[in-house]
Homo-oligomer: A and B are copies of this chain.
Amino acid sequence: MTTIDFIGYCAAFLTSASFLPQALLVIRTRQTEGLSLLMYTLFTLGVALWLIYGLATRDAPIVIANGLTLTFAIIILLITAQERLKQRRVSTKS
């Protein structure tokens, strides 16, 4: 493995793994006010396309990295959407 390959693998590991603490934080606290729902909608869609791209080009690192990221992104997106719906219901009632 060249130094450049190694940098690429480190980059893929860091950008994928970084979403784990965010996913754990929203699962634990369900505090999503600061999270952009638009960001996680676009991001989840983008990562899903990366996964399709990786499968189509048979690129294992892209498939593994984006498969992991997609799992975390979907968790964050679903909890954020759920909390926004709850808030909307509460503000409609009051």
A residues lining the B interface (CB < 8 Å): 4, 7-8, 10-22, 24-26, 29, 31-36, 38-43, 45-47, 49-50, 52-53, 56-57
Contact = CB atoms under 8 A, between A and B. Distances in A.
How many copies altogether? 2
Contacts of A12: 46
Nearest to A16: B46
Interface SS majority for chain A = helix
Given A8-B53, A49-B11, A18 B33 contact: no
Contacts of A7: 49, 52-53, 56
A35 to B, nearest CB: 5
Nearest to A45: B14
